[in-house]
Chain A
């Protein structure tokens, strides 16, 4: 039995179509990522899965139970971390955890094992008010609170937004560890680079799923060879590439610009000559492997083209 099964869900708010024809399934013990920018519909989808919203159309089951009819049975089995979630600022770290434990009818000591790897990092600060924690620590506490009742499914809505790269990396390491305990985890994020740590990812944009697959397959599915081009003056390089007749796309990626051509096989020599003509004499060109973000952007372009 899959942990989550969703069939053709639609949801609108007044005249905004938040979700359009969403279908997917999450297996038990899977780490499943929804990757997409703010406003893509991730939060609405999570609220349907946690039974707080009712879909306009379509069906969804969580742990084998219908999200509309069986919401009372589903709720205690979920661990949910909303995006805006900010804990109780005026309660201490320990009091927050105690509170959520008691609300779910358990105690910290009863399920300590599960949260120990995460919560032990916070224990030196257990008497500090949650309002005085940094972003990274808040996320850890929130995760502990969502886990304290041993949920069967963890729903984490943008847990790493606004958190620095180090804390984000640590957070994902924790998720990978949790997965080993057999808990299914669904997580959403606007950071594309986090996708590679998921078993499967669903790319979501403007309420529609663009693709669902393993990170590796998504990247492998990228159909054009990508060239990385580097120059001291990135802006000038970018401007020049926009004028090049064979340019299909040119996007900055770190120090390189990822460049694809309309032709099947890019001509590096012609490109170099063109850049030289446009005053860029220090261009370094090399072939690069596509990433999730390349795929996401290519899919976005296709969606726009098909609209």
Chain B
């Protein structure tokens, strides 16, 4: 039995009198696609910030790739990839300059980086626009590029925060193929989304309500235990009972 890629036990974060995340405990196995669902304000962002080493927990335990979130946040940052809709690429740099920049940030050697750029451009079919400014690309392409960049340094875990918001249905699916491919290579994928059908693509999903994890299982088991045929129903049933609808 190998160590889990992400491990949390009674992880809690409070802001003053407000408990944003309350005693959440879960494991994410290596190579797993883990869906992290919750209503706006349920505490997903706070939990993600703790796991990516950006925010210290108030109490509880958590580790990512075996690194402790309290003491080894720098090691965590080196070993993970991160992509969100808000933070991703530099609009005023070209496609290849963006890849080059992030390669530099993670200290990839120049030669390996050159090869890597070609490789990425080829896989996501952006070779033709490699010298175009990112700002001119359609959103779907940007998101694919952002994802490739986030796994550029072969991280063992990648965190994706609403990676497919607003993307057209075809590109959205191409994006998920990239996620499958990454998971197939052994990269652990931790993903949030508002598309409930995407929750079904995950190996396991957790649903957060009011700072607590109310359900955690494979989509199939969740649907069975709630005797319904869609994750959306499960989600709506759990989240409708939410007391707080804001942070």
Q: Does a CB–CB distance below 8 Å link A and B in the complex?
A: yes
Residues of A whose CB lies within 8 Å of any CB of B are 36-40, 125, 132-137, 158, 161-169, 190-193, 205, 234-235, 238, 251-255, 293, 296-297, 300-301
Q: Which of B194, B196, B236, B247 has a CB less than 8 Å from the CB of A134?
A: B247
Indicate if B14 sits at the interface (CB-CB under 8 A). no
In the bound complex, how far is the Cα of B239 from the Cα of A169, in angstroms?
Answer: 12
| Chain A residues, CB < 8 A from B173 | 251-252
Cβ distance B237 to chain A, nearest Cβ, rounded Å: 9
Q: Which of B166, B177, B232 has a CB less than 8 Å from the CB of A37?
A: B166
Stretch at the interface among B61-69, B72-80, B113-121, B178-186: B178-186
Indicate if B4 sits at the interface (CB-CB under 8 A). no
Query: When A and B form their complex, which 4 residue pairs have the shortest distance between CB atoms, in order from nearest?
Result: A37-B168, A134-B246, A235-B180, A38-B166
Q: Which of A37, A135, A192, A251 has a CB less than 8 Å from the CB of B41?
A: A135
In the bound complex, how far is the Cα of B169 from the Cα of A301, in angstroms?
Answer: 11
By the criterion CB–CB under 8 Å, are B165 and A37 in contact?
Answer: no
By the criterion CB–CB under 8 Å, are A137 and B246 in contact?
Answer: yes
In the bound complex, how far is the Cα of B50 from the Cα of A196, in angstroms?
Answer: 39
Residues of B whose CB lies within 8 Å of any CB of A are 38-41, 138-140, 162, 165-171, 173, 176-177, 180-181, 183-184, 194-197, 200-201, 219-220, 230-232, 235-236, 239-240, 242, 245-247
| Chain A residues, CB < 8 A from B41 | 134-135
Q: List 21 A–B pairs whose Cβ atoms lie within 8 Å, in order of A's numbering.
A: A37-B167, A38-B167, A39-B139, A134-B41, A135-B40, A137-B246, A162-B40, A165-B235, A165-B236, A166-B235, A190-B167, A192-B169, A205-B168, A234-B180, A235-B183, A238-B177, A251-B170, A254-B231, A297-B169, A297-B170, A300-B170
Q: Can you add 11 more A-B contacts, CB < 8 Å, to A36-B168, A234-B201?
A: A38-B139, A134-B40, A158-B166, A161-B166, A166-B239, A190-B166, A190-B168, A193-B197, A235-B180, A238-B180, A301-B170
Q: Which of B168, B181, B240, B242 has a CB less than 8 Å from the CB of A235?
A: B181
By the criterion CB–CB under 8 Å, are B236 and A300 in contact?
Answer: no
Cβ distance A135 to chain B, nearest Cβ, rounded Å: 4
In the bound complex, how far is the Cα of B170 from the Cα of A300, in angstroms?
Answer: 8
By the criterion CB–CB under 8 Å, are A39 and B138 in contact?
Answer: yes
| Chain B residues, CB < 8 A from A163 | 40, 194
| Chain A residues, CB < 8 A from B170 | 251, 297, 300-301
Cβ distance B120 to chain A, nearest Cβ, rounded Å: 19
| Chain A residues, CB < 8 A from B231 | 254
In the bound complex, how far is the Cα of B176 from the Cα of A235, in angstroms?
Answer: 9
In the bound complex, how far is the Cα of B230 from the Cα of A133, in angstroms?
Answer: 29
In the bound complex, how far is the Cα of B245 from the Cα of A133, in angstroms?
Answer: 8
Cβ distance A158 to chain B, nearest Cβ, rounded Å: 8
Q: Which of B38, B162, B176, B180 has a CB less than 8 Å from the CB of A162?
A: B162
| Chain A residues, CB < 8 A from B138 | 38-39
By the criterion CB–CB under 8 Å, are A255 and B219 in contact?
Answer: yes
Given the known interface contacts A161-B166, A166-B39, A235-B183, the answer about A252 and B176 at a Cβ–Cβ threshold of 8 Å is yes
By the criterion CB–CB under 8 Å, are A166 and B139 in contact?
Answer: no
Cβ distance B84 to chain A, nearest Cβ, rounded Å: 12
| Chain A residues, CB < 8 A from B40 | 134-136, 162-164, 167
By the criterion CB–CB under 8 Å, are B230 and A254 in contact?
Answer: yes
Given the known interface contacts A37-B168, A293-B169, A296-B169, the answer about A255 and B220 at a Cβ–Cβ threshold of 8 Å is yes
Most interface-central of B39, B166, B219, B246 (chain A CB within 10 A):
B166
By the criterion CB–CB under 8 Å, are A254 and B197 in contact?
Answer: yes
Given the known interface contacts A37-B166, A161-B166, A190-B166, the answer about A136 and B176 at a Cβ–Cβ threshold of 8 Å is no
Cβ distance B89 to chain A, nearest Cβ, rounded Å: 15
Given the known interface contacts A37-B140, A134-B41, the answer about A165 and B239 at a Cβ–Cβ threshold of 8 Å is yes
Most interface-central of B184, B236, B246 (chain A CB within 10 A):
B246
| Chain B residues, CB < 8 A from A164 | 38-40, 194, 239
